[in-house]
A and B are shown apart, each in its own frame.
Chain A
Amino acid sequence: MTPLDKVEGRAIPFGLKNVDTDVIIPAHWLKTTTREGMGRGAFEAIRADPDNLFDSAEYKGAPILIAGDNFGCGSSREHAAWALGDLGIRVVIAPSYSDIFSGNAVKNGILPVVLPQAAIDRLMEVAATDPVFVDLEHQTVTTQFQDRFTFEIDPFRKMCLLEGLDEISLTEKSDAAIGAYERQLDADRPWMRPAA
């Protein structure tokens, strides 16, 4: 995973609320057995309009996406995060996310920044003409107009993003603890193993 620290550039002033994963990547794109190339299907319905934001000269390849409440709601498909990543997005800024989406985002090296609606409104304004700066180390989103918003992030997620860490390797360090749990479970609740 590519480590993520400072991201600066144009931010797509998308702003919609309750954007579900079917909008981010329609179901027919799920029929793949690999992860690459999914960006072509990102926001497909919206991008069917030739004048859409995502493909405009100004925002094509922009690394930041600004969205409304409950971004990434709907299905658990991780394809949504792959599609955003493949589109070139490294940071999403929204007032809230679905739990599954924000987890998937972090696992794929995308930072989900949570900011209050007032901050989102201001950033939407700036994004119309100017770049936005995101600094994960210092947990800030800034603009060249002296806006400075700080955000919270779970320290573990922050470390994973900063170092580009793969979670399975981390968990494998707990192998002994998992083995001990399994033995205890077999002793305490042997019926938990499927009978047949």
Chain B
Amino acid sequence: MTRPRTLYEKIWDAHVVEQRPDGTALIFIDRHLVHEVTSPQAFAGLRASGRTVRRPDLTLAVPDHNVPTTARLDAAGNRLPIADAESAAQLAALEKNAPEYGIRYIDAVAPEQGIVHVVGPEQGFSLPGTTIVCGDSHTACHGGIGALAFGIGTSEVEHVLATQTLLLQPAKTMEVRVEGEVGPGVSAKDIILHITGVIGAAGGTGHVIEYTGSAIRALSVEGRLTVSNMAIEGGARAGLIAPDEVTFDYIKGRPYAPKGADWDAAVAYWKSLATDPGATYDKIVLIDAAAIAPSVTWGTSPEDVVPITGVVPAPGSFADPSKQTAAAKSLAYMGLEPGTRMQDVPIENIFIGSCTNSRIEDLRAAAAVIKGRHKADNVKWAIVVPGSGLVKAQAEAEGLDRIFTDAGLEWREPGCSACLAMNPDKVPAGERCASTSNRNFVGRQGPGSRTHLVSPAMAAAAAVTGKLTDVRELMA
């Protein structure tokens, strides 16, 4: 009998091409997602060394990071030029490189275009039990459907293009078990913010986190993608959630998903991947779902999480002296005083989008809060950016776009948008943004921008009141 194994170990074992004596292994990569920012230098490297792409059929390219989210076509249906020369150059490079190497390419005006981590699962290109890489750290997202997915750097992008493999060190395993039922107004985003606050930004370093427990099982695939998306914020390179019927229902019928007899074989295989009873993890963290409140960040590290009912902490309240220094710096940058109630923090900008929270369920949650209300006057800029063209079309079919625009929010074209300041969507210096994205780093949403990470419902609530708000108060 074989030793009981975790989900991670099973996926790892199934992908070992060659075991090296030093403990590393050459791992086969089933899916490679490519976007315009981290790929130009990789293609340039291939060209310089005269190499080709080994498996273009396992590679999918889509531009997302710096495509503008304003209209891309003029009235006559012609593509509008991109004003920023460097963005245009990166897009042009991808547009040229993908066909040259025979790679599937979704162009910037295709109906399926969107954020690479939204597009992968949506197209059925990302599958459970596969290894997925992309030159973007939020590749961890695909772990929500049970894929071992992680971000890689540009040298590794080139390595995967050339060899369809990566040389990897096996990770340690960590289980984060969330048991119980979350209260009203508490979403997948609050769960992962809470977890990040508990384990810390380096808590998962060297580990792959498997999220388990009844509160995780109760999430939709969209919610699971949100949780796994932010595994990296807890320091882990990848997150995993075991695939189950919810996952299979989500994937079935999607364009690149297995069909017919293949489907049945695939499901049987996916079911065999669940962590065996008796398998052990290197680290286990238990979280009580009932204790999770709608959550918000106060600082410039994703571990700086408090419940919305909480206050800005005093740097002296942290035991670790270096955390005290970091917290003091964060507060200075964020322009916050210790003891301030989070609910008294005014908000001038709202961003609903990013690969963390731009799927249909996220937009529905935000729309439910904002419906029949209007954004507060002090909110100067509020944008809703669907994760893909298909999410956008679905939302429009449900009338969600009208709910947002009636409330004074802007309805945009899909892309990474204000998640990172690479395209025209930026938060002005010194201003705050209630953002559904995943990072509150210094300057992430634009030089001097102050980010408060929240769920879509909480972002909508902040839009309505003009300050950080406990969404439960608007839900009566």
Chain A residues engaging chain B, CB cutoff 8 angstroms: 16-18, 20, 22-23, 26-28, 30-35, 45, 68-70, 73-79, 81, 96, 98-100, 103-104, 107-108, 154-156, 167-168, 170-172, 174, 177-178, 181-182, 185, 189-196
Contact = CB atoms under 8 A, between A and B. Distances in A.
B180 interface: no
A111 B235 CA distance: 21
A100 B152 contact: yes
A155 B322 contact: no
Contact of B205 (A17, A96, A107, A182): A96
Nearest to A104: B153
A185 B15 CA distance: 9
Interface in B139-170: 139, 151-156, 158-159, 162-165, 167, 169
Given A70-B202, A78-B135, 8 more contacts: A30-B65, A30-B422, A45-B447, A77-B153, A99-B237, A189-B265, A189-B269, A193-B57
Contacts of A26: 421, 443, 447
Given A70-B205, A167-B159, A77 B38 contact: yes
B17 A100 contact: no
Nearest to A34: B41
B159 A168 contact: yes
B257 A171 contact: no
Question: Sorted from nearest, which 3 A-B pairs have the closest CB atoms?
Answer: A78-B153, A76-B151, A31-B86
Nearest to A20: B441
A76 B322 contact: no
B345 interface: no
A31 B151 contact: no
A139 to B, nearest CB: 15
B256 A195 contact: yes
Contacts of A189: 265-266, 269
A31 B422 contact: yes
Contacts of A77: 38, 153
Interface in B106-138: 124-125, 127, 130, 135-137
Contacts of A34: 40-41, 44
Given A171-B167, A195-B256, A185 B442 contact: no
12 contacts: A17-B322, A22-B444, A27-B421, A30-B37, A33-B40, A69-B322, A100-B153, A103-B153, A107-B155, A167-B159, A189-B269, A191-B263
Contact of B17 (A96, A178, A191): A178
A77 B93 CA distance: 18
Interface string B216-248: 000000000000000000010100000000000
Contacts of B58: 193-194
A28 B422 contact: yes
Interface in B420-446: 420-422, 439, 441-444
Interface string B59-83: 0100001100000000000000000
Contact of A74 (B22, B90, B439): B439
Contacts of B57: 193-194
A13 B247 CA distance: 49
